[in-house]
Amino acid sequence: MRIEENFSLREYNTFKLNVKVRWFIEYENESDLRKILSDEYFHSLPCVHIGGGSNILFLNDYYNGIVLHSAMRGITATMEEDSSVLLRVAAGERWDGVVEFAVGNGWYGIENLSGIPGEAGGAAVQNIGAYGAEFADVLASVECFDIETGDKLVLSKDECAYGYRSSRFKDGKDRLIVSSATLRLQSSGELLRYGGLGDGVENMTLGDMRNSVLERRKNSLPDVEKLGNAGCFFVNPVVEEDVAAKLAGENVNMPVYAMPDGKVKLSAAWMIERCGFKGVRRGNVGISDKHALVAVNFGGADGNEIAALAEEIRQSTMRRFNVELKTEVVYIE
């Protein structure tokens, strides 16, 4: 177990904010996690669990509490009789490493989720999605620990309450730490050629699909190693059908996507671009000129500057479209 006092989280958040935390604790196995959760001092301080820090925003320069991080690794595969494969992945595994492993073994289901930063635990919390695929599509079960009691629980997919970029873990009401996720992948299947991925490619393989996704991402998102960011800052708003129809009538070319439940998803990026924010800069922070949903740190920013720009965008889209944008990025105070 690694315990650091007054520790900089700069390498643990993709905004590259130089936030200091009173205690940083990284555990390598369940027995250490149990020890932490049974410690009285631990329960006397605020605590947040992070993964790869690719979807969080620390609002202040100092977090006066404990930041927990899982260094638990391990991927184990169990073949099932019906040609599916159960892949149990420890929370501290890098998500894209999991995808690479699955694709390398010829297992279908997560190839469209290639290249998403962060860890497997974070993927389970955020219900990551891209190119028509979502983490919840392949999730079989999640193992987790209750922060308050230290009890271990195994939750079925239904019990995880997954929705669009949301989950029981994200809403944080019952404070659960994800320790592993078990995915059900397929050893044969169809590729999901979402949005023209692989158009014109015959006999496309899983590896080709992964490469197409990685290429598409490289061209459409800023490189997180060069420009601090957390991917899409806002989720796409979901509205009632009549609201969407009115907006589409008033705004030529406004993209609208019908959802299976009858509601309609709007494009937050389109609205932000129409409000003139794509490529803007406010001091140390701004909005990427590659993607209107991505807030960036040009260097030296603090969390409040990023949050202030996000608030300016929220108010502007509210005024122009009467639609409220909600953050995908998790704020930590």
Residues interacting with ligand FAD, by CB under 6 A?
14, 48-56, 70, 91, 116-119, 121-123, 125-126, 128-130, 169, 177-178, 221, 224, 229-231, 330
**What's the min distance (Å) between Cβ of 49 and ligand FAD?**
4
Q: Give the integer Cα–Cα distance in Å for 100 and 97.
A: 5
**What's the min distance (Å) between Cβ of 1 and ligand FAD?**
16
CA quadruple 206, 209, 213, 218: dihedral sign? positive
Going by C-alpha positions, the residue among 12, 122, 5, 11 that lies closest to residue 65 is 5
- Closest to ligand FAD by CB, 79 vs 257, is 257
**What's the min distance (Å) between Cβ of 198 and ligand FAD?**
18
**What's the min distance (Å) between Cβ of 37 and ligand FAD?**
12
- Closest to ligand FAD by CB, 15 vs 277, is 15
CB-based contact 110:99 (threshold 8 Å): yes
- Closest to ligand FAD by CB, 109 vs 117, is 117
What the block records as the tokens of 58 is: 């620390």
- Closest to ligand FAD by CB, 92 vs 274, is 92
- Closest to ligand FAD by CB, 84 vs 297, is 297
**What's the min distance (Å) between Cβ of 200 and ligand FAD?**
24
**What's the min distance (Å) between Cβ of 275 and ligand FAD?**
22
**What's the min distance (Å) between Cβ of 39 and ligand FAD?**
18
- Closest to ligand FAD by CB, 122 vs 237, is 122
Phi, psi angle pair for 192, to nearest 5°: -95, 100
- Closest to ligand FAD by CB, 70 vs 327, is 70
What the block records as the tokens of 236 is: 């796409």
Specify the DSSP element, H or E, that contains 319: helix 303-321
Place of tokens 């995915």: 183
- Closest to ligand FAD by CB, 26 vs 84, is 26
Give the max Cα distance, the chain.
60
3-class DSSP assignment, residue 182: strand
Q: Where are the beta strands (DSSP E) in 28-175?
A: 47-50, 56-58, 62-70, 75-79, 84-90, 129-130, 133-134, 139-146, 152-156
H runs (alpha helix) in 48-183: 95-104, 120-126, 135-138, 168-171
Q: Give the integer Cα–Cα distance in Å for 101 and 108.
A: 11
Phi, psi angle pair for 68, to nearest 5°: -100, 145
**What's the min distance (Å) between Cβ of 102 and ligand FAD?**
16
